[in-house]
Structure 1
Amino acid sequence: MAREAQVSNGSRVADFCAGLGGTVRYLAHKYGADVTGIELTPARVSGAQELTRRVGLHGTARIVEGNVMDVPLPDASMDAVVSQEAFCHIPDVKRAVAEAFRILRTDSRLAFTDWIANQPLTAADAQLMREGMAIQPLRTIPEYRSLVESVGLRVISTTDLTEEWGPILKERLAMYQLLREEARQAGTPMGHDAFHKSYIRFVDLIHERKMGGVRMVVTKLPRD
């Protein structure tokens, strides 16, 4: 994703929904980019800032508190915007993509991965995904293409990741369940049961190809 976003030494990059800043630090360390992560949750921002300080990357990697539907960055200030599996949690994805368009320089790129609906989810599955994992209504790949094009971005490439992500998610679920069991045996909190229940169904939906993943790379064209 970083290569397709054309991230390189000195690139100014924004990471939408940065979480604890893993991607922010990776791009700063691996590529020499100057990276700003946008994260809504104050506790995650604080944790991300501390982790970044501990690894000595605070000069080129930073995580700031903000909403990706109203990004606290100037117009045309970024060489790239990236986001990983996060747009599915945003109430208004079009508004977030429009913000990426606003802060990108001309001919710069937005590269993101996200969850998609290969088939319409049942009402019960959609509710389970929302309650357990805060997943908003999903879109298909063609619907995603239409969305990014509607704000003025041009699609460069679209990659269906459903088959690739299936085995990875199964491994992650097994790891999470092992941690839950270790917590139970230690008498410590096991995490949210609603998340666990939704995660199990989530993995099933991916393997049934009712849900899937996409990597999309788009660019900001010069104005006529």
Structure 2
Amino acid sequence: MDYFYFLGFILSIGIGFGIISSTPLGPINLLVAENYLSVRKVKIIPFLSGVIIVDAIFGYLTFWGFDKFLSDYTLVGTGIGIFGGLAIVFLGIIGIVQQLQGKHNPDKKIKIKKSIFLKSSTASFTKGFILCGSNPGFIAFWGWVAYNAKTWTGEMFPAFDIHYFNLLIFPIGIIIGDALWFGIFTLLLKKGARRYSGSLIDKIRVFISWGLVALGIFTLVASINPTTKKTYHTDKELIK
């Protein structure tokens, strides 16, 4: 039964960070909003499928790579945690500062060309795959997630080791998390006003920015504090 809890924990991490990876108001979310609110609609399911699949691939490979090659190097893991925490705090501060400086006009409308959505499902899927896959920020983000997820699973389930088979549950969680976000996002657009204004973008941006700052600070504290790592390694040694 404990093993199923272990798998469920990995799945929940994938779902949670799958949602987080999809929420920033980058070009993908804006394209989805513009497409839904426009008069002429195009099918974007293949496009989003490409985005979600490459997101899951990044999540799996970075988690597997960190666990396979870097988990035994405490200094490397600490460095990733500190660097990732600082980067996330920095991104959050940028969003907050932009809002305080009033760089966003609350009355403006977002106009985006939909040339990225092609008539061919294969071409649209490829566009989504490349648009998401070419973003180096996703690699850095999932590297940071892998560092923390490895620590969390080691703390809560020291009796179980992560390997490539049970880790497959992680990208499944990412796919579920991404699908949940885009489904909720579309529902909000459907239930909300027929106007995707700058004021709505600013409100969501501020909420996400403060969340990133809190998440980054938590990562910094957890990375600098050596107690957790010592306890985890001690438990693993006792089990072996």
Quickly name the TM-score band, shorter chain normalised: under 0.3
**Greater per-residue strand proportion:** 1
TM-score (norm 2): 0.22
TM-score (norm 1): 0.23
Highest RCO, 1 vs 2 (Cα 8 Å, sep ≥ 6): 2
**Greater per-residue helix proportion:** 2
Which of the pair has more CA radius of gyration? 2
